[in-house]
């Protein structure tokens, strides 16, 4: 088994909000509602299209230095509209938790620090939103009481990371526990996830059915650099549907190192 060091962190973001007081929660052109705040499908497309355009231009410029011509598929970022919605909804919830608990959020992370891992230029709004979220994440990780460690939380984090290939899939619980060490980052991650889920219940979340369940945008710092993934924590159950009883929170990840081994 080879050693691998993981630094996991949950992430979320929201900017350019559309206030829709007195509107119903079934408008087909709305991507999601958080209370009286909503994001239109157009807004999600705007952030997504900007990320794709900035990424494509960066690839063209890099290829141009060697005289190469990139194929069309090489000009497409792996960012999806679901990623954008996850970022917007989750950060709004994170901001509400910060405000309710009167937490201090330092301005420490810049888009330039994230662009290589995200593979989206720092000039893209998507990357700027990520920079804002990571500051909120650090405040939540450091100032929320850590949650109890349990098998469900450990496996939720493991399975999300395993989907990226950053850690081997198919490990047993004992192997995952060994890889995650004392599980400190899972405790912090679970606390963030629980806080966001609790806030989602108060805020009355609704999600357009064209999207999957909302997840906490997260990242892990593995041997090859940052790996970004998503941990679901809010389910959808209908057309821009009200969510009053979300599933129990899946763990997200915090910014703590974990020494471990894997096959």
Which pLDDT score is estimated for 263? 32
Cα 2 to chain centroid, rounded: 28
Q: How far apart are CA 53 and CA 32, in angstroms?
A: 24
Query: Per residue in 214-258, pLDDT tens?
Result: 888 877 666 777 778 887 776 544 334 443 333 333 333 333 333
pLDDT for residue 24: 54
Q: What is the pLDDT of residue 102?
A: 94
Rounded-to-integer distance, Cα 9 and Cα 207, Å: 24
Q: Assign 3-class secondary structure to the chain.
A: CEEEEEEEEECCCCCCCEECCCCCCCCCCEEEEECCEEEEHHHHHHHHHHHHHHHHHHHHHHHHCCCCCCCHHHHCCCCCHHHHHHHHHHHHHHHHHHHHCCCCCCCCCCHHHHHHHHCCCCCCHHHHHHHHHHHHHHHHHHHCCCCCCCHHHHHHHHHHHHCCCCCCCCCCHHHHHHHHCCCHHHHHHHHHHHHHHHHHHHHCEEECCCCCCEEEEEEEEECCEEEEEEEEEECCCCCCEEECCCCCCCCCCCCEEEEEEEC
> How many CB atoms lie under 10 A from the CB of residue 20?
17
**CA atoms within 13 A of residue 158's CA, in its CB half-sphere:** 24
Q: Half-sphere exposure of 246 toward its Cβ, with a 13 Å CA cutoff?
A: 26
Q: What is the pLDDT of residue 181?
A: 83
Structure pTM? 0.77
**Pair 218, 141: CB distance under 8 Å:** no
pLDDT tier for residue 2 given thresholds of 50, 70 and 90: very low
How many angstroms separate the Cα of 252 from the Cα of each of 63, 152, 188, 228? 36, 12, 8, 12
Mean pLDDT, the chain, whole residue set: 79
Predicted pLDDT of residue 146: 85
Tell me the per-residue pLDDT of 22-61, one tens digit each, with 9 for 90 and over.
345 668 899 999 998 999 999 999 999 999 999 999 999 8
Q: Report whether 218 contacts 12 (CB < 8 A).
A: no
Using CB atoms within 10 Å of the CB of residue 91, give its burial: 0 to 12 exposed, 13 to 18 middle, 19+ buried. buried
Residue 221: the pLDDT is 67
pLDDT at 235: 53
Q: Is the pLDDT of residue 172 over 90?
A: yes
């Amino acid at each position: 088994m080879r050693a691998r060091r993981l630094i996991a962190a949950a992430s979320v973001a929201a900017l350019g909000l559309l206030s829709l007081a007195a509107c119903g929660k079934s408008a087909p052109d709305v991507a999601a509602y958080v209370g009286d705040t909503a994001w239109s499908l157009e807004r999600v497309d705007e952030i997504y299209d900007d990320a794709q355009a900035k990424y494509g231009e960066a690839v063209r410029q890099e290829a141009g230095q060697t005289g190469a011509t990139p194929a069309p598929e090489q000009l497409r970022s792996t960012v999806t509209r679901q990623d954008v919605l996850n970022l917007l909804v989750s950060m709004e919830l994170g901001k509400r938790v910060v405000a309710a608990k009167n937490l201090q959020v330092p301005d420490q992370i810049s888009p330039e620090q994230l662009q290589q891992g995200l593979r989206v230029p720092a000039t893209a709004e998507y990357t700027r939103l990520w920079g804002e979220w990571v500051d909120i994440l650090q405040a939540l990780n450091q100032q929320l009481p850590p949650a109890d460690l349990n098998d469900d939380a450990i496996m939720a984090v493991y399975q999300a990371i395993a989907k990226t290939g950053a850690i081997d899939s198919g490990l047993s619980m004992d192997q995952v526990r060994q890889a995650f060490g004392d599980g400190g980052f899972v405790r912090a991650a679970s606390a963030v996830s629980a806080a966001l889920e609790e806030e989602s219940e108060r805020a009355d979340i609704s999600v357009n059915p064209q999207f999957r369940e909302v997840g906490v945008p997260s990242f892990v710092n593995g041997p090859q650099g940052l790996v970004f993934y998503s941990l679901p924590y809010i389910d959808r159950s209908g057309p821009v549907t009200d969510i009053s009883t979300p599933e129990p929170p899946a763990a997200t990840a915090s910014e703590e190192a974990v020494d471990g081994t894997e096959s």
